[in-house]
Structure 1
Amino acid sequence: MSKIAASARVHPLAVVEDGAIVGENAVIGPFCHVGPHVTLGDGVELLNNVVVAGRTTIGKATRIFPFAAIGGDPQSVHHGGEETTLSVGERCTIREGVTMNTGTSGGGGKTVVGNDNLFLANSHVAHDCQLGNHIILSNNVMLAGHVHVADRAILGGGCAVHQFTRIGRQAFIGGLSAVSYDVIPYGMLNGNPGILGGLNVVGMSRAGIERSVIHVVRRAYKQIFEGEGSVRANAAAIRDEYVDCAEAMEILDFIAVESDRALSSPNRGSKG
């Protein structure tokens, strides 16, 4: 039997399958379908014509708009029906036509979406993606499988992100960009193929980062990407110089991590 809180409101034209859990003050509108392994947190709202399937958990106060399909099987030829999951955090807004898939057994089995994220119409989060908090995916953004997006990144309309790519914290991706390589924290990438065009200075300022700190990070950026050596060699060579600047160290740590993808740079891609 389903476990539906007494304060929840379920429209008579909605289907909530046996086994589903629906929290306090949740609202399920007409023509919604909630699967048997779904958990909807307190205050979740499915407006109408929403499908939530699979082993999916939706965090409290998240709103999902019409024709979104959340928790469907991963779009992977390697998926054999394993019991994988999707977790969506609290206070997210998921607009019309958004799709999110569960994970795959070969990718850890979990797709994870953090809190306070905004997904605009027809954006897609594929299997095994890992998303942080306060992220914006604009209309028609496409994340392939295994993509990692850190906190407060903004992805412009229609951009496409290659599988296994990492996008660092507070990075900005321009509309219609092709993201084939990792994007550093605070990086700003545009174009097809995507080219790193500097730092997201406006975003850094809006986040309260002092101008003096931004100048330090810009100096580090120039040393990394305009130095004579490879990107990774340049980054390793300057670490001691920036130990007192958390933002610069965040970029250096990001570069130092082994990754399946190359690094975006002003020259499109660099193996470092």
Structure 2
Amino acid sequence: MIDPRADVHPSAEIDSSVTIGPFSVIGANVKIGADTWVGPHVVINGPTEIGRENRIFQFSSIGEEPQDTSYRGEPTRLIIGDRNVIRESVTLHRGTEKGLGETVIGHDNLIMAYVHIAHDCTIGNGIIFSNATSLAGHVEIQDHATLGGFTLVHQFCRVGTYAFTSMGAALNRDLPPYCLASGNYARLIGINKVGLKRNGFSNDAIQALHRVFIQGMRGRAGRESHLDAMFEETEVPEVRNLIGFVRGSRRGILRGGRPH
């Protein structure tokens, strides 16, 4: 299952069911789980752990040193879960010692061509990264978010679950769960109603989220007091999740209103 033209380091732990294409290079301290397919011309350096049933396409660079001037060769890690699709020319970097020490990517993610995920990022499950999306270091992307093509995310920002960005959005603050963002710099423009309906959210939950957005998210004045009152009054779990995300933001929340 390993093409004879591939270069696999003797210390790499490769499951017997793994396929590795021609001219791929697998470095030391790399572990690849069962039924993973690695195409041609892929470079994987360690320490890197890759789970089961992943598909990694040509010219991807996986587990390379972080692009951080503080990095001095420490043995930081990249951890990738199961059933991810990693398309052409994707770059996924290990963590840094001053950060988490590892970059973590969950399960069932679609990472399209030319995506960059930098050091110390934490990526959840079921996320779509459209072409050429770029994440700076220390970014958190929660489950089932969708990032449009050429989305840029500033370091230390968070993107909440089921959030959505339009093409070319540039996020310099946190994007709350279930919300839409667009523009450069991005602004909040509403609730991700289409995405929520497609994923089986009830109409009641969607309407409750919409009310929170209209009453507590669009403006800046009085935002905290409005949201605190809504959190105490509601029993809708999605609303409590959204408000809890906003209350826990360290970098600040994207401003509301349509982008200029």
Q: In 2, are the aligned partners of 1:74 and 1:103 still within 8 Å (CA)?
A: yes
Contact 2:219–2:255 (CA under 8 A) maintained in structure 1: no
Structure 2 CA distance for partners of 1:140 and 1:227, relative to 1, 3 Å: closer
1:42 and 2:21 aligned: no
Q: 1:143 to 1:227 in 2, by over 3 A?
A: closer
Is the Cα–Cα contact under 8 Å of residues 19 and 38 in structure 2 kept in the other structure? yes
Alpha-carbon spacing, 1:226–1:53, altered in 2? closer, same or farther (3 Å) = closer
* 1:264 and 2:254 aligned: yes
Aligned position for 2:122: 130
Alpha-carbon deviation of 1:125? 0.4
Deviations 1:169-192 (A, max 9, x none): 000011111111100000100011
Do 2:189 and 2:258's aligned partners in 1 also have CA atoms closer than 8 Å? no
The residue matched to 1:263 in structure 2 has which SS?
Answer: coil
Match of 1:67 in 2: 59
Structure 1 residue 87 displacement after superposition = 0.5
Contact map agreement 2:189 2:257 (CA 8 A) in 1: no
The one-letter amino acid of 1:263's match is I
Contact 2:220-2:255 at 8 Å conserved across structures: no
Preserved CA contact (<8 Å) 2:218 2:257? no
Per-residue deviation, 1:47: 1.0
Q: What is the identity percentage for the equivalent residue pairs of Structure 1 and Structure 2?
A: 38
How do 1:137-152 residues align onto structure 2 when only pairs under 5 Å count?
Answer: 137-152=129-144
Q: Specify the code of the residue in structure 2 equivalent to 1:255.
A: V
* Residues 18, 36 of structure 2: 8 Å contact kept: yes
1:11 aligns with 2:13: no
Report if aligned partners of 1:115, 1:132 keep a CA contact under 8 Å in 2. yes
User: Amino acid of the residue matched to residue 238 of structure 2?
Assistant: E
Distance apart, 1:258 and its partner CA: 4.1
Q: Could you say which residue in structure 2 is the equivalent of 1:5?
A: none
Match for residue 93 of structure 2? 101
Moved >6 Å (runs of 4+): none
Alignment partner of 1:221: what SS?
helix
Match of 2:168? 176
Q: 1:23 offset after TM fit, Å? A: 1.0
Q: 1:228 to 1:128 in 2, by over 3 A?
A: closer
Where structure 2 has 5 or more consecutive residues not aligned to the other structure, the ranges are none
Which of 51, 74, 84 lines up with 2:43 in the alignment?
Answer: 51
Aligned-pair CA distance for 1:230: 3.3
Tell me how far apart the structure 1 counterparts of residues 133 and 223 of structure 2 sit (CA, whole Å): 28
Using the size of structure 2 for normalisation, the TM-score is: 0.96
1:162 aligns with 2:167: no
**TM-score, structure 1 length as denominator?**
0.92
SS in 1 for 2:214: helix
Query: 2-side partners of 1:86 and 1:237: how far apart?
Result: 41
In structure 2, the CA distance between the partners of 1:189 and 1:102, relative to structure 1 (3 Å rule), is: same
1:120·1:137 contact (CA, 8 Å) conserved in 2?
yes
